[in-house]
Amino acid sequence: MESNQDFRFLQFFVCANVEMLNAERKKKMVRVLVQIVAITCLWWWWASLTDAQYMKYKDPNQPVSVRVADLLSRMTLEEKIGQMVQIDRTVANPGILKSYFIGSVLSGGGSAPLPKASAVDWINMINEYQKGSLSTRLGIPMMYGIDAVHGHNNVFNATIFPHNIGLGATRDSELVRRIGAATAVEVRATGIPYVFAPCIAVCRDPRWGRCYESYSEDHKIVQEMTEIVPGLQGDIPADSLKGVPFVGGKKKVAACVKHFVGDGGTTKGINENNAVIDRHGLLSIHMPAYSDSIIKGVSTVMVSYSSWNGEKMHANRDLVTGFLKDTLRFKGFVISDWEGIDRITSPPHSNYSYSVQAAIQAGIDMVMVPFKYTEFIDDLTNLVKNSIIPMDRIDDAVARILLVKFTMGLFENPLADFSLVNELGSQAHRDLAREAVRKSLVLLKNGKNGTNPLLPLSKKAPKILVAGSHADNLGYQCGGWTITWQGFSDNSYTRGTTILGAITSTVDPSTEIVYRENPDSNFVKSDSFDYAIVVVGEHPYAESSGDSMTLTMADPGPTVIKNVCEAVKCVIVIISGRPIVIQPYLSSVDVLVAAWLPGTEGQGVTDVLFGDYGFSGKLSRTWFRTVDQLPMNVGDSHYDPLFPFGFGLTTESVKELVSRSTSAGVGQKPYILANIVSAIAILYFTASRGFRQPT
């Protein structure tokens, strides 16, 4: 446009001078001016062509900081604010991403392109959105985000790992790292480069509906479990500066630690409520895992809905900018929670312009809007144009977002390919999940009076009973944040192995398995069962719907325990997102197992019940006697638990038992050794475990 104006000006200049000069001078002047015009036009053409051919931000050989600065210098205010917006896929399409320069799209809990969508379905949807972003003037790719809090949990056929409370019980940070790597591959298999995980809350009250998303009540265990961050993102380079985000290639994803900060310490465990704690307590209990994650190169941090001493975290400049960005030197971007800035006011969204101002000035860089994006864009634009929010705050936010996008290779590989689609729910990942399940189980009791242990169970018992609402229900087994936000009930929503299915495939073909969800006592007494496995617990929930002041077992669980355990030797497996009330039933049970929310691989439970592996899990949470004791955490002056933090009985595998029992006879003659092994095996499996209880 400027080139045309200048050219017309030169034409006018030539004509005006021609009339004032004699014919000879006219000819010379015209030739000179034509040459000037030609040279000028050629120069403009060459400059524009060169500029189009080479832009520093498009050059992967340039340092990321140079690319960020170059791209930022080319962006309009409209383009910058667009980058700060994250919208839900239900309101997204290529045209909207192009028109509003949207920086990110997400799937809210359970939001999928189709029911039981395949990896290919996900990739095709996301690539269509991406094409809209790439068609903008500067071609800045959007980044797609999804909750992947225990595997790729929104996606049909994905591997669902145990929730964090179970992983904390493993005490195995290397295992958690491998789970992060497997999750990253499955997420990338669907074309997604960004996950809202891990949750590094320190749950201090099990009444909180998100307690199962916390690894432990002890911040030290939570810190250890931040090894999931390099699992998801890859190991940071040796020379990396503290706080600089890192994503190591197309099999890794950008991670998001959440929810900053103190979400696990609210009064009575009420979700999104107020954490009343002094600064020292906040920094010593709830902050350390953030520091560790930043050192490990985490890309993003999500702000909590909760408040600290009455101040909403989404508006807390002291902690978001002052501590997270300035003190901890975090260089990635800060994202809000779902409609998180709306909740700065009460009622939510009652003064949205103020909420936008407070959140952006506090230091939030990307806003999970997720629906009313035009309102957010208009309000933020007005705040900047009226100098209420300074331009350097916008530039800081956008620079951070671009830094993550460049670091994760999104500019070089904006479109997903299909090379990883077969990794979704792969057998290798399911084997890893099975390992995690067996390591997460905590054995709380083995023997009615602390003697005569019942475990390991005999695989060759003639007749066994399996009971309880959770024995054959994959949805209950996986818990919330599985396929849908609140989870599901039954076995049709995804692929996996229920505990009943695992028992069936584990015991000897000659063993008769009788399954009754809710058997009455007469039925149990009349059928001469060798033992019973009862699987009961909580129904799925997520966030506030899981808040509970009573922490009771779902019906008919207590009735099933009474009917079964009074009549036959029983193993009780508790499926729950936290400790629940069990003291009233404890004396009647022979074996009590805390299985938490194990996910899709139920065979991890039978691996330890039947002695293929030993129990090794330790409580990552205190198990209370009554809810009246809550909150109660290890180290409290009123600490009087039913089972203390760190408790967990151990068992040996059958192989270990046989090996240990025969080791003393190694020096004997071979035939004597063989007789000893045979005798022990017969006694162990037949006499001790294969009996029938008298009716």
Tell me the catalytic residues.
337, 543
DSSP characters over 317-329? HIIIIIIIIIIS-
Instruction: Give the CA dihedral 192, 111, 425, 605, nearest 10 degrees.
Output: 130
Q: How far apart are CA 103 and CA 678, in angstroms?
A: 68
Q: Which helix (H) or strand (E) holds 222?
A: helix 219-224
Two tokens at 424?
């979704």
Q: How far apart are CA 39 and CA 304, in angstroms?
A: 60
Give the number of other Cβ atoms within 10 Å of residue 39's Cβ.
10
Helix (H, G, I), strand (E, B) or coil at 260: strand
Are the CB atoms for 125 and 113 separated by under 8 Å? yes
Task: Compute the half-sphere exposure of residue 363: CA atoms within 13 Å on the CB side of its CA.
Answer: 22
CA-based nearest residue to 214, from 573, 578, 545: 578
CA-based nearest residue to 494, from 182, 228, 158, 195: 158
CA-based nearest residue to 160, from 472, 499, 496: 496
Give, in order, the Cα–Cα distances in Å from 344 to each of 306, 315, 361, 364, 417: 10, 7, 13, 13, 40
Residue tagged 């990307």 (tokens): 366
Residue 1 gets which letter from DSSP? Answer: -
Q: Which helix (H) or strand (E) holds 6?
A: helix 2-18
CA-based nearest residue to 630, from 582, 595, 580: 580
Residue tagged 């009615």 (tokens): 448
Give the number of other Cβ atoms within 10 Å of residue 539's Cβ.
19
Q: Which residues contact 20 (CB under 8 A, 6 or more apart)?
A: none
Cα dihedral across residues 114, 118, 120, 126: positive or negative:
positive
HEC sequence for 429-461: HHHHHHHHHHHHCEEEEECCCCCCCCCCCCCCC
Q: How far apart are CA 676 and CA 662, in angstroms?
A: 7
Give, in order, the Cα–Cα distances in Å from 452 to each of 256, 446, 455: 48, 8, 9
Give, in order, the Cα–Cα distances in Å from 442 to each of 173, 474, 584: 17, 20, 19
Task: Compute the half-sphere exposure of residue 253: CA atoms within 13 Å on the CB side of its CA.
Answer: 33
Q: What is the distance between the terminal CA atoms of the chain, rounded to a whole angstrom?
A: 97
Q: Which helix (H) or strand (E) holds 572?
A: strand 570-575
Q: Is 3 exposed, middle or buried (0-12, 13-18, 19+ CB in 10 A)?
A: middle
Q: How far apart are CA 193 and CA 417, in angstroms?
A: 12
Residue 267 gets which letter from DSSP? Answer: G
CA-based nearest residue to 167, from 184, 179, 153: 179
Main-chain dihedrals φ then ψ at residue 600, nearest 5 degrees: -80, -15
Give the number of other Cβ atoms within 10 Å of residue 501's Cβ.
17
The residues that bridge with 254 in the sheet, in sequence order, are 194
CA-based nearest residue to 561, from 586, 578, 580, 526: 586
Q: How far apart are CA 551 and CA 688, in angstroms?
A: 36
